Amino acid sequence: MQSVASQQYQLVTDGNVTTPQGFTAGGLHCGIKKYKLDLGWIYSEVPATTAGVYTTNQFQAPPLKVTKESIAVENKIQGILVNSGVANACTGAEGLQNAYKMRELFAKAIGVEDHLVAVTSTGVIGTQLPMGKIESGINEMNATGNQGAENFEKAILTTDTCTKNIAVQIEINGKKVTIGGAAKGSGMIHPNMATMLAFVTTDVDVADESLSKALKQVTNKTYNMITVDGDSSTNDMVLVMANGKAGNETLTEQHPEWATFIQALEFVCQTLAKKIARDGEGATKLLEVHVKGTETDEGARKISKAIISSNLVKTAIYGADPNWGRIVCAVGYSEEPIDPDKIIVSLGPIKVVENGLPLFFSEEDATDYLHSETVQIFVDLQQGEGSAVAWGCDLTYDYVKINASYRT
């Protein structure tokens, strides 16, 4: 199963990206948006080993190019600068130069070399960044009231209705190690990364190649398993910074406690991914789809993604309509080989299909269940040991309203 198994970590109350040792963060309003915070940053006291994953959209925004170049120099980053309101995507040579300028200005402000800075943007596509406002904002970063993870979490939001954060602690080599995270994402969310940004900080010491492998492995089970509306953005990015301040022995895949680290990292990323799915534009419910009984885990991923991506399924969940036919329809067009005569489908605790045939069930009970804030769908193909979990949300009238007036 794709969900995190046994817990070897402790959830930190009100934990965030500054909970790990050696990290600070902040955010302010520089004028990109009318009123809300729109410029945020994370800073590590020392250069941190860094890994990233990025959108698969072919229109990758300039900040992604600049950040990739920064990390490629020595796989280390010391500061991250994020603006919201303008995506700096499809902005040509000027947009690329603006991304470089953001990096240069922030690097100077925190006293590091340019390649130790990552930059990213989120918001409206096709608009140039107001560099004068961003530069003024960078100059005001140290002002009273700008510091704190809460300000950072607010500054990276677009149509989100809430901030998204988490931190957990584990023990490695007898040392207390912390992993914290923050994310944004509400619309234009689809598996294989979507208009979402996620930032994970940790004071653990991890080898750079091992950290990169860990992030890719965890991303495939978490961020790549969510959807809101089927649109993949130009700006998606997940970054993990590990500054080693916990003082543990350097982690690699061969370390006896590697699995403990991976489990905690997956839990942090899974929690952020689920919060993004639940905060889908206009959403009222979190949809969690469990698929098992496929020949491979990849097959289960394809089927679970097909179900959570189906507009017919999503609208049925919104309307609390136990129309299981929409679920089996999505399974059927997932392109994964199945035996239709073996499928079992349940809406939460209520089994509605067995061996491909409908079962008698109480429509009233099923409707009541579908009014829950979290709705689970279980599908068993009875063909193998593969399994996966995917997360999405219902599709509501408000989604149309929000996106019909996004720029106004």
Q: What is the CATH number of the domain that holds 346?
A: 3.10.20.340
Farthest CA pair distance, the chain: 68
* Catalytic residue IDs: 195
- Enumerate residues 6+ apart whose C-beta is below 8 A from 317: 285, 287, 370, 375, 394, 395
Q: What is the pLDDT of residue 2?
A: 39
Looking at the fold, whether 160 and 72 belong to one and the same domain comes out as yes
Find the distance separating the first CA and the last CA of the chain, reported in whole Å: 43
Residue 250: which domain range? 10-278
For 17, 107, 195, 343, 366, the CA distances from 21, given in Å and listed in that order, are 10, 21, 29, 49, 47
Q: What is the pLDDT of residues 256-278, one digit of tens each?
A: 999 999 999 999 999 999 998 88
Cβ–Cβ under 8 Å, residues 193 and 232: yes
| Total structural domains within the chain | 2
Record the pTM: 0.87
Residue where the block lists tokens 């700006």: 235
The whole-angstrom separation of Cα 141 and Cα 322 is 51
Looking at the fold, whether 201 and 303 belong to one and the same domain comes out as no
Give the residue ranges of the chain where pLDDT is below 50. Answer: 1-6, 188-194, 229-231
φ/ψ of 195, rounded to 5, equals -65, 75
Query: DSSP 3-state assignment of 361?
Result: coil
Looking at the fold, whether 75 and 192 belong to one and the same domain comes out as yes
**Which of 278, 313, 341 corresponds to the end of one domain?**
278
Q: What is the pLDDT of residue 44?
A: 98
Looking at the fold, whether 153 and 178 belong to one and the same domain comes out as yes
Looking at the fold, whether 255 and 326 belong to one and the same domain comes out as no
Looking at the fold, whether 191 and 108 belong to one and the same domain comes out as yes
Q: What is the CATH number of the domain that holds 72?
A: 3.60.70.12
Which residues face 120 on adjacent strands? 82
Q: What is the pLDDT of residue 284?
A: 87
**Which of 278, 304, 327 corresponds to the end of one domain?**
278
Q: What is the pLDDT of residue 186?
A: 63
- Enumerate residues 6+ apart whose C-beta is below 8 A from 240: 50, 51, 52, 200, 201, 202, 211, 214, 215, 265
Q: What is the pLDDT of residue 1?
A: 36
Q: What is the pLDDT of residue 160?
A: 85
φ/ψ of 393, rounded to 5, equals -150, 170
Q: What is the pLDDT of residue 46?
A: 98
**Which of 278, 300, 333 corresponds to the end of one domain?**
278
The whole-angstrom separation of Cα 188 and Cα 196 is 8
Cβ–Cβ under 8 Å, residues 240 and 75: no
Looking at the fold, whether 125 and 246 belong to one and the same domain comes out as yes
DSSP secondary structure, 129-176, as one string = --HHHHHHHHHTTTSTT-BSHHHHHHHT-SS-SS-EEEEEEEEETTEE
What's the gap between Cα 166 and its chain centre? 12
Looking at the fold, whether 272 and 293 belong to one and the same domain comes out as no
Q: What is the pLDDT of residue 278?
A: 82
**Residue at 270 is within a domain:** yes
Q: What is the pLDDT of residue 142?
A: 87
Looking at the fold, whether 148 and 187 belong to one and the same domain comes out as yes
Looking at the fold, whether 297 and 222 belong to one and the same domain comes out as no
Q: What is the pLDDT of residue 402?
A: 65
Q: What is the pLDDT of residue 233?
A: 57
